[in-house]
Amino acid sequence: MKLLSKIALGSIVLAQFFWSCKTEDNSEAMDSNFITLSAEENFPFMVEQFADLKVLRYQIPGWENLTLKEQKLVYYLIQAGLSGRDIMWDQNYRHNLTIRTALESVYTNFNGDKSTDEWAAFEVYLKRVWFSNGIHHHYSNAKMKPDFSSDYLKAILDASNTVLEGEAFEVIFNDKDAKKVNQAKDVDNVAASAVNFYGPGVTNADVESFYSNISSPDPKRPLSHGLNSQLVKVNGALQERVYKSGGLYGEAIDEIVKWLELAKGVAENQAQEDALGLLIQYYNTGDLQIWDDYNVAWTAATDGNIDYINSFIEVYNDPLGYRGSYETIVQIKDFDMSAKMAVLSKNAQWFEDNSPLFPEHKKKNVVGVSYKTVNVAGEAGDASPTTPIGVNLPNANWIRAEVGSKSVSLGNITNAYNNSGSSGRLKEFVNDDQEYELEKKYGQLADKLHTALHEVVGHASGQLNPGVGETKETLKNYASTLEEGRADLVGLYFLYNTKLQELGLVEDWKAVGMAAFDGYIRNGLMTQLIRLNLGDDVEEAHMRNRQWVSAWAYEKGLKDNVIEKVTRDGKTYFNINDYEKLNDLFGELLRETQRIKSEGDFAAVQALVEGYGVKVDQEIHAEVLERNKQFKSAPYGGFVNPVLVPQTDAEGEITSIEVNYVKSFEGQMLNYSENYSFLPEVN
């Protein structure tokens, strides 16, 4: 499970190796792609901003403290991740690679007039496509509409000797495949989604029927059926195209395996080496039992300074929650912060025992919850350019229960977000000076603690009732938003608790809790709406969960005026009058969401999400958009990756690895396409 950037919203409200080893022959050319840093300057986090997007840089603190062997491990893992980059593009939409190839050809080969409004619109559209790994918006899932005509695109294609025709051309401008992921009620979610996890003609009923006839060898340890395949119809019969060497995406997977083999050779310890070996076997075979074996080994491999996420993991992009998107994050331990936050892992059982859940839904033994603050060294696939700020894996409930899980907070990503914004939006949307000062003083700490509690305690908390199926089967298209809301509620409930101060995590538990509650309600009921066009429903799972949690608490607290809707000078604010009662409401909702998950109550989750999380108050939305017009900072943020450049001796052996930072977003995207494209345009 991943926690999307609450911090990105907070910063809104608060305001690979470079494609060949560096040698004497090409160092000058390569250096021209990098920024030059001086000790006197602040790090330039901002790269550029366009449309509703901003592109940032992140640093890699502590790189120089790693041994050369550890640096090699990081480098090889990043190369493995980038080698699978195009898998994500193809998973997002079947025409993405064809469209990207054509657009990039125009961008690099067009020699006509680049001073026109149409060319400027073309550049913005291409950058938006790069940012979203395809033609659908990375957050809203809606197809992005270009601000240039089809005639103009035809003209610049011809002028660049580039071919883009048929459906791949037409879909840029027509209404077909309008939603990458359609989670709407009372529609065939599979048929209505453009995501490339299912072939033409496959329906919700097909998917449910297909997997209802597949059983796991051990029902208590169910395999993640569908995680690493595309489900298609061949002559009317359903069959899976498995992602593996020699199978679907095999060309890219072979490159991934090549680099993983090198990483395995410089593993920090035997446990890490064994886990990498199992991951390689999984990629070679596509065997889901090996995937589970790998996750067990990976979860237990907690020693060492380097860790990674790599494979087909999160299922948010599947409207029915079966299929995993390709993702990779390479991480270096943040030694100072990890030592401070490990206390949450050690006290996971206390949080479970003292949660408001029904007794039968509590785990008697919360095992193996490993928490670290890490610094990202490289990302690809579903984690890039947009990235989570926290991750808890593996996702299989039985592994969490028997072996445990790993939770990480991405410290340098959070730091980059926090240093890229301003306080203007905060002043606009807070109700009073007290709320403003609380957020300024405690907001960042509250966000960090909420992330930690969400990942370490939240996702590890609770258990299913005996005989209840996996959540993706029982709660279907609502499974992801229910799980993210449930984990958010665990974090919220314990943020307003003296235990945090007793553990030495805060100096003033009440002030931190108040700042956390203020920020969550303000975001859930108002400020996150800047990410939507007027009239849109809420579609994204995390955004839905923030709204249904906040709207439910607001409605249930009306009798006691727990949260007050304030109108002043034609502007709306939400003010919390009773933090204790709000904490009780969060506890009540947490108990109910765990009951829904534990019992597999589809009717209840549908009523909760549809009743509170989907529809938007149009008057407030229009007002929020109008108030937000004065601010320049884009509502969505993403990142270019640092570039690791190996230095080699005469024998080609790596002697050191430098960290460099790219000048431009388009430079990194074009070089990735040139050097990490291992798939055909149509797969």
39-85 confidence digits (pLDDT tens): 667 899 999 999 999 999 999 998 999 999 999 999 999 999 999 99
Lowest mean pLDDT among 9-18, 183-192, 286-295: 9-18
pLDDT above 80 for 530: yes
Section 511-533 average pLDDT: 96
Name the pLDDT band for 414 (thresholds 50, 70, 90).
Answer: confident
Residue 336 lies in a domain: yes
Closest alpha carbon to 81 in 243, 263, 242:
263
- Give the integer Cα–Cα distance in Å for 468 and 466: 6
Q: Are 458 and 590 in contact (CB under 8 A)?
A: no
First-to-final CA distance of the chain: 28
Alpha helices in 148-303 (DSSP H): 150-159, 167-170, 204-212, 250-265, 270-285, 288-300
Q: Are 128 and 634 in contact (CB under 8 A)?
A: no
Section 107-129 average pLDDT: 98
pLDDT above 60 for 1: yes
pLDDT score of 26: 40
Helix (H) or strand (E) holding 484: helix 479-495
Task: Return mean pLDDT, the chain.
Answer: 92
pLDDT above 70 for 10: no
- Please give the structure tokens belonging to residue 565: 């809707």
- Please give the structure tokens belonging to residue 218: 């051990």
Residue 316 lies in a domain: yes
Residue 130 lies in a domain: no
- Give the integer Cα–Cα distance in Å for 491 and 508: 17
Give 474-491 pLDDT, tens digit per residue: 999 999 999 999 999 999
411-418 and 433-452 helices cross at what angle (nearest 10)? 160
Helix (H) or strand (E) holding 510: helix 509-525
Residue 216 lies in a domain: no
pTM confidence score: 0.81
Helix (H) or strand (E) holding 499: helix 499-502
Task: Give Cα 36 distance to the centre of its chain.
Answer: 30
Q: Are 61 and 643 in contact (CB under 8 A)?
A: no
Buried b (16+ CB within 10 A) or exposed e, 522-537: bbbbbbbbbbbeeeee
In the chain, how many domains are there?
1
pLDDT score of 417: 87
Give 632-676 pLDDT, tens digit per residue: 888 899 999 999 999 999 999 999 999 999 999 999 999 999 999
Q: State percent of the chain over pLDDT 90.
A: 82
Residue 411 lies in a domain: yes
Name the pLDDT band for 7 (thresholds 50, 70, 90).
Answer: very low
Q: Are 139 and 636 in contact (CB under 8 A)?
A: yes
Helix (H) or strand (E) holding 347: none
Reduced 3-state DSSP string for 54-71: EEECCCCCCHHHCCHHHH
Name the pLDDT band for 143 (thresholds 50, 70, 90).
Answer: very high
Read off the amino acid at residue 667: G
Residue 312 lies in a domain: yes
Residue 234 lies in a domain: no
Name the pLDDT band for 6 (thresholds 50, 70, 90).
Answer: very low
pLDDT above 70 for 15: no
**Cis before residue 394, ω within 30 degrees of 0?**
yes
pLDDT score of 422: 60
Name the pLDDT band for 345 (thresholds 50, 70, 90).
Answer: confident
Read off the amino acid at residue 655: T
More reliable by pLDDT, 340 or 597: 597
Beta bridge partners of 637: 54
Lowest mean pLDDT among 36-45, 340-349, 438-447, 643-652: 36-45
Task: Find the domain containing 304 and state its range.
Answer: 2-69+248-638
pLDDT score of 12: 34
Residue 361 lies in a domain: yes
pLDDT score of 39: 63
Section 390-403 average pLDDT: 91
pLDDT above 70 for 28: no
- Give the integer Cα–Cα distance in Å for 325 and 197: 9
